[in-house]
């Protein structure tokens, strides 16, 4: 027997089965939410990139009476877009216009370099944001919404999820081929200090969509709670 999943306003997924008292205590709550990653570009030809990942874990019947369990989290890239925006306020407006169309979202951005000044602007605009500063090495640390994460961890996390199939790119994504090209352009590079690091783009090219995807995925795999804790855009300027 199959049951239709119900998505609540808070993003939880439930499977109503029966009012039979025997079913009490055997239900499981899944989730459906959207992780938004933002890579902030520079002036001129370096665009900003935004990628959205749908994260989902669904309840199902185990076959042992009324018992329910949850599927392993699945991550699907459902949207990506780039924009050449020279003014910081234009980046805020662009991102906010996309967030308005979503429910149950989290925003994670690159706060390295050009992204640093935008963190405060997002906070002034009452747009919750996780700010990730990329570093060398192989560590990741978090204090509140401020995160330091090595490029190695950021990129390897995405590579692992792509390899094991937990991260997929929607088959009908308009810029699917471009995102795949950027993903395959990531390469190892030896620094002058003799450290092995990962770089996106290769041979002078950018990997903006891929970095935005990695940021969105990081928020799910490393920081997202298994219960729903998401944001809605209210009172934006």
Residue found under tokens 């169309």: 101
- pLDDT, residue 192, reads 66
Tens digit of each residue's pLDDT (9 = 90 or more) over 54-93: 999 999 988 888 888 999 999 999 999 999 998 999 999 9
| Cα three-residue angle 110-115-121, rounded to 5 degrees | 115
- pLDDT, residue 182, reads 87
- pLDDT, residue 19, reads 52
**Residue 22: which residues within 8 A CB-CB, separation 6 or more?**
65, 66
Half-sphere CA count of 47, side-chain side, radius 13 A:
15
Ranges in the chain, pLDDT < 70: 1-2, 18-26, 43-44, 188-206, 225-237
| Cα three-residue angle 27-33-37, rounded to 5 degrees | 150
Q: Round to whole Å and give the CA distance between 102 and 108.
A: 15
- What's the predicted TM-score (pTM) here? 0.85
Strand-pair partners of 12:
31
């Amino acid at each position: 027997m199959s049951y239709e999943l119900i998505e609540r306003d808070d993003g939880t997924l439930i499977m109503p089965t029966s009012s039979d008292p025997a079913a009490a205590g055997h239900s499981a709550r899944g989730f459906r939410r959207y992780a938004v990653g933002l890579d902030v570009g520079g002036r001129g030809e370096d665009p900003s990139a935004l990628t959205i990942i749908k994260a989902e874990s669904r309840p199902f019947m185990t076959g042992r009476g009324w018992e329910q369990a949850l599927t392993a989290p699945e991550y699907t890239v459902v949207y990506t877009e780039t924009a050449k925006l020279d003014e910081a306020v234009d980046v805020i407006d662009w991102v906010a216009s996309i967030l308005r169309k979503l429910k149950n979202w989290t925003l994670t951005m690159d706060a390295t370099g050009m992204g640093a000044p935008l963190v405060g602007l997002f906070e002034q605009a009452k747009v919750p944001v996780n700010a990730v500063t990329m570093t060398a090495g192989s560590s990741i640390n978090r204090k509140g919404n401020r995160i330091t994460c090595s490029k190695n961890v950021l990129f390897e996390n995405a590579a692992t999820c792509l390899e094991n199939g937990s991260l997929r790119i929607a088959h009908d994504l308009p810029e699917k081929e471009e995102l795949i090209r950027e993903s395959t352009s990531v390469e190892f590079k030896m620094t002058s200090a003799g450290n092995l690091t990962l770089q996106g783009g290769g041979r002078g090219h950018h990997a903006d969509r891929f970095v935005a995807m990695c940021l969105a995925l990081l928020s799910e795999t490393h920081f997202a709670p298994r219960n729903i804790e998401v944001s809605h855009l209210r009172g934006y300027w």
